[in-house]
Amino acid sequence: MSSDRRDFVLTAGKLLVLTAPAAAYLEAVETGKAEEPAYKMAEHYWGMIVDVDKCIGCGNCVRACKTENDVPVEPYFFRTWVERYHVAEGAEHPDVDSPDGGYSGFPEKYAAGDGAKSFFVPKLCNQCAHSPCTQVCPVGATFESPDGAVLVDKSYCLGCRYCVQACPYGCRFIDPRTKTVDKCNLCYHRITKGLTTACCESCPTGARQLVDLKDPKDPVHDFLRDHKIQVLKPQLATGAKVYYNGLDGSVR
Amino acid sequence: MNRFLKDKEHLVRMAALFAVGVVLFLILKAVLVPKGFGVYGHYRAGALADNRVRAPRFAGRSACIECHTDERDAWKGGKHAGVGCEACHGALAKHAEDPSASNAFKPDPKTICFTCHLTNAAKPRKFPQIDPKNHFDGGACNGCHSPHAPDKEPKK
Amino acid sequence: MEEGLLHAVQGFMYPNEVELQWSILIVLYPFTTGLVAGAFILASLERVFNVQAVKPTYRLALLSALAFLLVAPLPLQLHLGHPERSLEMYLTPHTSSAMAMFGFIYLWYLMGVLVLEIWLDYRKDMVLLARSETGWKKTLYRVLTLGVDNISEESLRIDDKLGRFITIVGIPSAFLLHGYVGFIFGSVKANPWWSTPVMPIVFLFSAIVSGIALVLLMYMLVCFLKGISIDMPCVDTIARYLMYAFLIDFSLEMLDLIHRIYEADESFKSLDFMAHTQLYTSQIIVQIIFGTIVPISMLAFIQVVKLSEAARKGIYVLAGLLTLMGIFAMRWNVVIGGQLFSKSFLGYTTYKMAFATKEGLLPAILLMILPFGILWVLVKVLPPFEEEKAAV
């Protein structure tokens, strides 16, 4: 529907049902009062760098995320999790595990010096710029915000689970308490207040770093220039904005 | 009813019924579509604010070192300078806001170190790792290493 | 609960994948819309291409389509985490979402095509019934006729012309209706089991197959219940159509399968493994062998060997039932099968169906009985057979 017609219908509807003060209030909401004065969406574009070579699999990010965002601890759901890869030389498939998403760290499972290559890979929502999940949402309850975070509108989500199916990375789940979809929102409540995400804050090695791609002073630009960067499942052209350094070809 | 419409009266009525349905739908739409929908895109503009309202639980290292200057001085120059305070102390936003109302968590120096330093084949090889079985067993780690500024050549 | 779910996992799945998203209710949804589209397309054959032989089933097919169409959205509704918000699909439909567009196609098809066509076709009957009945029944038919008592030659001629037009519009609509269901799955690029451009076409032809089988069975059942003799040329013709549609459907599915096997891309090992383990029974045995090859062979056999009427009837019933079972298994293998492997292609899980829960087997069974109840009422209100009309 063209925006003119929309506006007309909206206005007509308002005149029909609303008294003047209420209409004035809504006017204010619609014209962007939602934006906090200190934070300008247009000046930011968020993403993340994950440096695989630095991840020690301590699980701090997983725990911090659950604490910060009230992610259910008991059922098996994660906004971020860590995988352990174990790739024997010449093996076609890697052995992967993620006990409890890495929540309690990774008890040693492989013998040291078994000749295989082994490493940790933190995963989270890739905040795709062409996200397959927001594309399929039937009602607009999940969307890419102007500053580059993929967000969920919990008060509008139907719980149809189509977006969960559409995410190639397994980053979405249905929160059993609200029966709506949940996923990493890049700690939107933190990054819009000038803080970094809970996972980055508690990462001891700097394996994860929040980046603002629109900020010319952000060290991300040097990092992206100086390293060979990869995103997950590039063949799906999701426009993922979580950039991995040192990502092995076996990582799915 | 004119002659032309005589045999189509039922169709006219059906069409009217459909028209009523469409009008009802449009009214419903005007009334029920949430305000602010479509301002930035196909979603409720208010959802952005909804995602922001949450209060952070991690205060961030810069908050801690404003008050804890002793720890800051030790920590800044040490090997743990890259490790945020809350990586060991847990989420302490409440404490940072009002220290008298909420006690800070003091991690157990006998165990906290293992979350990071336990040997594991999947860890990057250059990361300092120890096997407690053959690393000065017994005493708490902070007996030799300061948790805020550990040294490879410990004090004792 | 998670413990149980985790035990079902072999290999590695992304942690959030351990919970299956779409249950048996979502299997019912393509199954029922398929029956609708198929039944309608069969009915349209008579009207548009003037196939006199299938005329006795015309009205029954339309009523069956309506009964199933009314039920089709219920499993979706029941499955939603927030059913009370489902109106949002119509209020703020997201144009890039196949699911949102389906809502409109559904409404269009229900109101713009099926209800209108049935109404036009039955108008004369309803007017006559409104004249002859008494009491609340008279009121009911009065309301159904919108209070117009006119059944002049001219008005009926107009109805017929308009009905024909609607049928012609209805055929692409029925294609759209079910092709779209296929698109809902076929467009999910994250899932290689679903993501294929032939998915809508496969869905469409399997829909036609299931719809024809349904009408065939319903017709024989209603005749049996009412003690009307079965019109053999009619069922013979329908059975022949069933075989043709089935052959096309089967070829398409095999084409897809061969293509996958030959290309053997990154997902193939994973999917191939699945077809040999978790999906072996439902895919190879139930869907392909007993649900496809056997009924096709039975129907083909009748084409070459002359059999007695009784034998043919028996074979039609059996083939029809096997066909419905096979198409149901196909829906199952698509919907459930598409969720049994990890998108990392490194692990698998199994689907454990609950029984008396919101998304369990019990509501599924009830939802499959419901359309027959609705159809029973519809047949009472709007008798589909000529014989009865004479008796009124």
pLDDT greater at residue C384 or residue C320: C320
Beta strands at A80-87 and A95-97: parallel, antiparallel or unpaired: antiparallel
Place of tokens 């800051």: B72
Name all chains with 3 or more CB-CB pairs below 8 Å to chain A.
B, C
Q: Which band of pLDDT confidence, cut at 50, 70 and 90, is reported for residue C228?
A: confident
Domain spans, chain C: 23-245+353-381
Cα–Cα distance for residue pair A65/A70, rounded to 1 Å: 8
Determine what percent of chain A is predicted with pLDDT higher than 70.
85
Kindly list the residues from chain C whose CB atom is less than 8 angstroms away from the CB atom of residue B7. 150, 152, 154-155, 158
Cβ contacts of residue A86 below 8 Å, gap of 6+? A94, A95, A96, A97, A109, A110, A116, A117, A118, B122
Q: Find the mean pLDDT for residues C120-138.
A: 93
Q: How far is A217 from chain C (nearest CA, A)?
A: 35
Nearest chain C residue to B32, by CA: C91
Say which CATH number the domain at A165 has: 3.30.70.20
Helix (H) or strand (E) holding C10: strand C10-11
> Could C1 and A168 be called an inter-chain contact, meaning their C-beta atoms sit closer than 8 Å?
no
In a domain? residue A21: no
A1 within some domain: no
Nearest to C150 among B7, B17, B32 (CB): B7
Residue of A50, A189, A199, A200 for testing the chain B interface, max B β-carbons within 10 Å: A189
* Cβ(C208)–Cβ(C245) below 8 Å: yes
Nearest chain C residue (CA) to A99: C15
On the question of pLDDT at C91 being above 50, the answer is yes
Residues near C44 by beta carbon (within 8 Å), at least 6 away in sequence: C167, C170, C171, C174
Domain presence at residue A53: yes
**Among the partner residues C15, C94, C344, nearest to A139 by beta-carbon distance:** C94
What tokens were used for A57? 């699999």
Mean pLDDT lowest for which of B4-8, C41-45, C120-124?
B4-8
Cα separation of B72 and B77, whole Å?
9
Helix (H, G, I), strand (E, B) or coil at B44: strand
The yes-or-no verdict on residue C392 having pLDDT over 90 is no
* Confidence category of residue A41, pLDDT binned at 50, 70, 90: very high
Domain interval for residue A169: 47-247
Is the Cβ pair C155, B33 closer than 8 Å? no
Q: What does the block give as tokens for B155?
A: 């004090």
Instruction: Please write down the HEC assignment for all residues of chain A.
Output: CCHHHHHHHHHHHHHHHCCHHHHHHHHHHHHHHCCCCCCCHHHCCEEEEEEHHHCCCCCHHHHHHHHHHCCCCCCCCCCEEEEEEEECCCCCCCEEECHHHHCCCCCCCCCCCCCCEEEEEEEECCCCCCCHHHHHCCCCCEEECCCCCEEECCCCCCCCCHHHHHCCCCCCEEECCCCEEECCCCCHHHHCCCCCCHHHHHCCCCCEEEEECCCCCCCHHHHHHHCCEECCCHHHCCCCCEEEECCCCCCC
Measured between CB atoms, does A141 come within 8 Å of chain B?
yes
Return the higher-pLDDT residue of A9 and C313. C313
Q: Where does the pLDDT of residue A90 fall: very low under 50, low under 70, confident under 90, or very high at 90 and above?
A: confident
**CB-based contact A32 B45, cutoff 8 Å:** yes
C5 touches chain A (CB under 8 A): yes
Give the residues across from A180 on adjacent strands: A175
**Which residues from C are below 8 Å from B14, CB to CB?**
116, 119, 146
pLDDT digits (tens, 9 = 90+) for B70-103: 999 999 989 999 999 999 999 999 999 999 988 8
Is the Cβ pair C16, A173 closer than 8 Å?
Answer: yes
Inter-chain CB pairs, B–C, below 8 Å: 42
Q: Does 2.40.10 match the CATH number of domain C23-245+353-381?
A: no
B112-138: string of b/e by CB count within 10 Å (b at 16+)? bbebbbbbbbbbbeebebeebeeeeee
Contacts with A, C 151-190, CB within 8 Å: 184, 187-190
pLDDT on residue A74: 73
pLDDT, one tens digit per residue, over C252-282 is 999 999 999 999 888 888 888 888 888 999 9
C357: pLDDT confidence band, cut at 50, 70 and 90?
Answer: confident
Tell me how close the Cα of C206 comes to any Cα of chain A, in angstroms: 23
Any B CB within 8 A of A41 CB: yes
More confident residue, B57 or C150: B57
The pLDDT of A223-239, averaged and rounded, is 95
Residues A54 and A205: their CA atoms lie apart, in Å, by 6
Residue in C with minimal Cα distance to B16:
C146
Rounded to a whole number of angstroms, the distance from the CA of C100 to the nearest CA of chain A is 4
Q: Are C81 and A158 an interchain contact pair (Cβ–Cβ within 8 Å)?
A: yes
All residues at 6 or more sequence positions from C123 whose CB lies less than 8 Å from its CB, including other chains: B10, C145, C151, C156, C159
Q: Lowest-pLDDT range, B3-17, B59-73, B115-129?
A: B3-17
C16 touches chain A (CB under 8 A): yes
Least confident of A168-182, C71-85, C376-390: C376-390
CA distance A230 to chain C (A): 17
Answer yes or no: are the C-beta atoms of A160 and A133 closer than 8 Å.
no
- The whole-number average pLDDT for the span A196-212 is 96
The residues in A 51-110 lying below 8 A from C, measured between CB atoms, are 74-78, 81, 83, 93-98, 101
Flag the least confident range among A46-50, A166-170, B146-150.
B146-150
To 5 degrees, how large is the angle CA A111–CA A114–CA A117? 105
Instruction: Tell me whether residue A87 is in a domain.
Output: yes
Place of tokens 């029925």: C174
Distance CA A147, CA C310 (A): 71
For residue C385, give every residue at least 6 positions away whose Cβ sits within 8 Å of its Cβ, in sequence order, or none: C56, C59, C60, C222, C226, C228
Q: Is C12 left (phi over 0), alpha (psi -120 to 50) or beta?
A: beta
Looking at CA atoms only, how far is residue C121 from chain B in angstroms?
A: 13
Pick from A8, A190, A250 the residue to mutate for testing the B interface (most B CBs within 10 Å).
A190
Write out residues 163-202 of A within 8 Å (CB-CB) of B. 185, 187-190, 192-193, 195-196, 198, 201-202
Torsion angles phi and psi, residue A168, rounded to 5: -75, -10
The partner residues of A208 in beta bridges, in order of sequence, read: A50
Average pLDDT over residues A201-213: 96
- CB atoms B7 and C119 under 8 Å: no
C80, C86, C343 ranked by CB distance to A170: nearest: C343
Task: Count CA within 13 A, CB hemisphere, residue B111.
Answer: 4
Question: Tell me: the pLDDT tens digits for C41-86?
Answer: 999 888 888 888 888 899 999 999 999 999 999 999 999 999 999 9
> CA A35, CA A29: separation in Å to the nearest integer?
9
Joined tokens for residue C95: 């144009």
Name chain B contacts of A202, Cβ cutoff 8 Å: 58, 84, 86-87
Cβ–Cβ below 8 Å for C155 and B10: yes
User: With 0-12 CB in 10 A as exposed, 13-18 as middle and 19+ as buried, what is B152?
Assistant: exposed
**Helix axis angle, C116-132 relative to C135-144, nearest 10°?**
150
Mean per-residue pLDDT over chain A, rounded: 87
CA distance C367 to A144: 37
Residue A79, domain member (yes or no): yes
pLDDT of residue C189: 94
Above 70 in pLDDT, residue C219?
yes
Q: How far is B97 from chain C (nearest CA, A)?
A: 34
Tell me whether residues C89 and A158 touch, CB distance under 8 A. Answer: yes
Q: How far apart are CA C279 and CA C340, in angstroms?
A: 9
Comparing alpha-carbon positions, the chain A residue that sits nearest to C77 is A160
What ipTM was predicted for this assembly? 0.90
Predicted pLDDT of residue C3: 52
Q: Which residues of C touch B39 (CB under 8 A)?
A: none
Give which of A160, A179, A233 to mutate to test C binding, by max C Cβ within 10 Å: A160
Of C132, C85, B44, the residue nearest A178 (C-alpha): C85
Distance between B41 CA and the closest CA of chain C, angstroms: 10
Question: Per-residue pLDDT for A21 more than 70?
Answer: no
Helices (H), strands (E): how many in chain C?
A: 16, 2
- Please compute Rg for chain B using Cα positions: 33
Residue B77: what pLDDT? 86
- The proportion of chain C whose per-residue pLDDT surpasses 90, expressed as a percent, equals 77
> Which residue among A98, A132, A136 sits closest to C99, beta carbon to beta carbon?
A136
Closest Cα in chain A to C95: A138
Check CB contact under 8 Å for A140 and B43. Answer: yes
Residues of B in contact with C143 (CB under 8 A): none
Whole-prediction pTM: 0.90
The percentage of residues in chain C with a pLDDT greater than 70, rounded to a whole number, is: 97
**Angle separating helix axes C58-71 and C199-226, nearest 10 degrees:** 120
Please tell me the distance from the alpha carbon of residue A175 to that of residue A73, in angstroms, as a whole number.
11
Q: CB contact, 8 Å: C92 with chain B?
A: yes
Residue B138 pLDDT level (bands cut at 50, 70, 90): low
Residue A107: CA count within 13 A, CB half-sphere:
3
> How many angstroms separate the CA of residue C302 from the nearest CA in chain B?
46
Predicted pLDDT of residue B2: 62
Q: Using the beta-carbon criterion (under 8 Å), do C155 and B7 form an inter-chain contact?
A: yes
pLDDT, mean of residues C322-328 = 97
Q: How far apart are CA C27 and CA C250, in angstroms?
A: 20
> What are A173's strand-pairing partners?
A182
Q: Give the residue-averaged pLDDT of C25-49.
A: 92
Number of domains within chain A: 1
Q: List the 66-125 stretch of A: residues with Cβ below 8 A of B.
A: 67-69, 84-86, 105-106, 108, 110-114, 118-120
Question: Is residue B11 predicted with pLDDT exceeding 50?
Answer: yes
Residues of A in contact with B44 (CB under 8 A): 140, 153, 155-156
